[in-house]
Amino acid sequence: MERLDKFLSSRGGYSRREAQKLIKGGEVGVNGEICKIPERKLDPENDSVTCGGKTVCADEHIYIMLNKPAGVVSATEDSRDATVIDILPPELKRKGLFPAGRLDKDTEGLLIITDDGDFAHKILSPKNHIEKRYVARLDGEITEDTIRRFEQGIVFSDGTKCMPAGLEIVPGSQNSTGIVTICEGKFHQVKKMFAVCGLKVVHLQRISVGNLYIDGKLPIGSAKKLTNLDVDAIFIGKIH
Ligand code: URA
C-alpha cells in the first residue's frame, strides 16, 4: 500500500507538495471518484489513479527508448546544452529519470532512459556482457588488420586495455562503414578504438543494447515507452 500523494509524485513527476496541491484541488481521481485526501492508501497494482482526467501509469519503473539526435547531451541537467531528458515528451517524464549510459553529444541512436538504478547497473556493467552495437562511418577503409586488432582488444595510448570487440564491414560501404560490438562503455570508446587504428569516426549511431534494437520507425529525436517484452529482450541469453 502506498500513500496517494507519494504515488502521484513518484509516477507523475511532481514534487510531494505539488501532488498534495493537485489532490486537494480535486484534480485527482481514485477508481473513478475524486479523492481530496493526500494520505489515502492505495494498492498501485489494483487501484487506478487519474490526474486531470488522464490515467497515471502505476508501473514502479519506466523504461524509455530514445532515438537520440546529435546536439543533445546524455545528462539530466546541463547549463549549456539541451539534455536527453529535456527533449522527452511530457507524457513520458517523471521524477528520477536518467540515461542508462552515455552517448557523446554528436552520437545518435538508441539510448535507454529510466528511473531504475539496478537495471542501469545491469546493462552497463562489463561483467554482464550486454553487447552494445554501433554503426560507425569512417574517413578511411577498415582493413583485415583493423578487424584483427579489435578482436585482440585495442590498447589506448595511456595503456588502457579494451576487451575484445567485434568489427564487421557493412557491405557496399567501400569498407568505410563498420558495425562495432562492445560490452563496455569507456569514454569515447569507439572513436578512440578507431583512432588507434588511424581512422576517424565521422558519424556514429548506436543500433542495439543486448537484443533490443532501435525501432526503425522511431524518428530521430522521438521516444517511446518500452514494454516488459522489450526490456526482457535486452537480457536474452543472460542471467538477470
Ligand atoms: N563510443 C564513442 O566513441 N562514442 C559514443 O557516443 C559511444 C561509444
Give the Å distances, CA to CA, from 161 to 131, 152, 154, 185, 229. Answer: 17, 10, 6, 12, 35
Atom of ligand 1 nearest to the CA of 103: 6
Map residue 175 onto helix, strand or coil.
coil
Ligand 1 midpoint to CA 196 (Å): 14
CA 178 to chain centre: 22
Give the pLDDT confidence score for residue 103 in this predicted structure.
98
Give the pLDDT confidence score for residue 57 in this predicted structure.
80
Atom of ligand 1 nearest to the CA of 193: 3
Interatomic CA distance for residues 51 and 30, integer angstroms: 9
> Which protein residue's CA is at the shortest distance from atom 2 of ligand 1?
188
Query: What is the pTM (predicted TM-score) of this model?
Result: 0.85
What is the signed CA dihedral for 219, 121, 230, 88, rounded to 10 degrees? -30
Q: Are 6 and 95 in contact (CB under 8 A)?
A: no
The CB of 66 under 6 Å from ligand 1? The reply is: no
Angle of helix 4-12 relative to helix 16-24, nearest 10 degrees, comes to 120
Atom of ligand 1 nearest to the CA of 206: 7
**Which listed residue (59, 104, 106, 215) is catalytic?**
104
Interatomic CA distance for residues 18 and 10, integer angstroms: 11
Mean pLDDT for each consecutive 10-residue tract of the chain (240 residues)?
A: 90 86 95 95 91 86 96 97 96 90 97 96 93 98 98 96 97 97 96 98 98 97 94 80
Interatomic CA distance for residues 24 and 38, integer angstroms: 7
Give the pLDDT confidence score for residue 202 in this predicted structure.
98
Q: Could you confirm whether 116 is annotated as catalytic? A: no
